[in-house]
Structure 1
């Protein structure tokens, strides 16, 4: 049996007025998702345990079969693993976004204009973060460049109980009440304010504004702290070899910690311009080479939700549906296969950030036609099912071990 999970990050949503009261999943053209619903089993799953933040880190741990209440140590340590940054026992990693803040007033009174600095390119961001590291690092604090706006700060002996807010949660808001609080807040705020003195007039940002008409990266924003994680290997849990395909370090890091092979796909970006088809083809190649399981993560719907881009969210969902068509066609070469489609969490357009509400999932097994009374895949359809997982990490057991 071959197993595939296709995860559309943040696909789930709420009814949207501009879509005549439909959710993006309901409004999108998704014939292949609907085929799975009509011929498989559909239900809902709560991927975010009560008391934990509704981030992709928590939710994807759940989907991959790991109880976040037991294994979650923070987002950034998982990204550090993917970036090849070896964390010591006392090291604390922080996600370091390059963001665009308003240019008015003192730092504390600025507004979060863009959590991604217009999705700054990786090459531009690398130059900025390396310059920040030269100017602001010391014996205990160092910065590491990542992909696009997503980077890393490692603080030797740093605090893990700081009260920090993801920048995508505060788009368009004054940052005043969302600045770091708790342990280490003075150092974190100092670094953020100092970066705001360095970045606005950096040559990279001047070129972005004058030559490209793009938003500059005017500050770093620190959040998502934690220490080095330790996960049981996926093969030890389920007896399956596997691979993970994603454009973002978070998912790659979870995969590495789980002992899965990370597959790089040319043109995979983490946004609407990603190589959707290339990811599907890469998954099929991994299975053809002998892997039992592939986890495909698509960031584009979530990014569109955070940016308030409704048409792009619908388009991203339709691209995921095309990926599904490619997968179903390619999987036909195998005698037995099973595929599951789901989001990790909702990213409602109304709030432009994550929620912890349950999400719809659908599982299809080759050779089995359930003739399901539910004929479409979306939030409302899944709620009609009595198949409910209130503990998210148990869904993987059901997916792999069900008869």
Structure 2
């Protein structure tokens, strides 16, 4: 029996004026998802345990069935996805090339956390020059593609934890309240300011850098036999690399979302033929929230339903369970994450249910049935033993 999980990253949202005060899930036309929901168990699932970082790393660790408390920050996971050298004594920090507005670093606001998803061919030569002229062997900056860089602090483990506000959580806000000029964070903000001064002279969308996601080596363990993940982010590449979980990647850059989904569909159908436990992760809805594009996010939901989900369901074949969930909330009016329980459905092809509603945030709340991510994973295992 096949066990399938479909995660729509950051699809859960709150009502937005641009969509008639509906969420993207509520506004979107999703006939395939609606039909599936009518035969499934619905409710909400807690993917972010209390006290842990609200974001995709913790949430996807939870939904994958790994212990999210092993999480030690984001950057080293992405570094693992890039197969950068891993050293347990080093500190790893994610660095975004960003677009600031303002007259100086100290008085700036972040307009785009990704420098408008800057193209690799534009960013790479400038980022490598930045690494050579502003950073050094102790604070080594490694370019990772598009707007992403990793800072490796040699023998910096003792500095952990170092707290930074993620760029996507402070879009449009003054950065002054988040700048630290004393203590162990002071050196990092000095490097951010020097990067700002350097990038002001370059004619590219990225005119600054913002650090976040400071991390040290985690220990991600679990049974990965017969399992596969299908993803398209460095974060998921890193989680699967550290866990020893097979990962089949699909890259979005440079083509339409529909074309991307068609390739994702082809790989997902093949994965069902070859593996018993399939984890499909789709990132687009989260990215569009961070870019404050609720209408485009709604259209992405419709594309997932039309291009991917309907055809995928037709091609599974064997008896299966299918869990569908958002990993966390991502608000398309602010770009920030939210950690409240997210909507989920659990479908068992051998034991269909009858329920009303659609796969939306409010419908999930209305069920008044909240479980943990571990309990959702247990449902898959228990269904496998039932006849």
Kept in 2, the 8 Å contact 1:2–1:336? The answer is yes
User: Matched residues in 1 for 2:294 and 2:278: separation?
Assistant: 29
Aligned-residue Cα RMSD (Å) equals 2.1
Structure 1 residue 271 displacement after superposition: 9.3
Structure 1 residue 384 displacement after superposition: 2.7
1:146-295 equivalences under 5 Å are 146-158=144-156, 159-180=159-180, 183-202=183-202, 206=203, 208=204, 216-235=205-224, 240-267=225-252, 275-288=260-273, 290-295=274-279
Match of 2:135 among 120, 124, 137: 137
Give the match for residue 63 of structure 1. Answer: 63
> Please, which runs of 5 or more residues in structure 2 have no aligned partner?
none
User: Matched residues in 1 for 2:287 and 2:144: separation?
Assistant: 17
Structure 1 residue 125 displacement after superposition: 2.4
Structure 1 residue 130 displacement after superposition: 1.6
- The answer as to 2:323 corresponding to 1:340 is yes
Structure 1 residue 195 displacement after superposition: 1.0
Kept in 2, the 8 Å contact 1:306–1:353? The answer is yes
- The answer as to 2:124 corresponding to 1:98 is no
SS at match of 2:315: helix
Q: Encode CA deviations 1:45-89: one digit per residue, 9 max, x unaligned.
A: 1111111221111111111112322x1111111111101012211
Match of 1:115 among 101, 113, 116: 113
User: Matched residues in 2 for 1:184 and 1:326: separation?
Assistant: 52
Give the match for residue 75 of structure 1. Answer: 74
User: Matched residues in 2 for 1:182 and 1:50: separation?
Assistant: 29
User: Matched residues in 2 for 1:319 and 1:267: separation?
Assistant: 14
Which shows bigger deviation, 90-99 or 49-58?
A: 49-58
Q: Encode CA deviations 1:197-246: one digit per residue, 9 max, x unaligned.
A: 222323xxx2x4xxxxxxx11111111011111111332xxxx4222222
SS at match of 2:329: coil
Q: Report the CA distance shift for 1:119/1:141 in structure 2 as closer, same or farther (over 3 A).
A: same
Structure 1 residue 126 displacement after superposition: 2.2
Give the match for residue 401 of structure 1. Answer: 382
Q: Paired residues, what number?
A: 381
Kept in 2, the 8 Å contact 1:78–1:250? The answer is yes
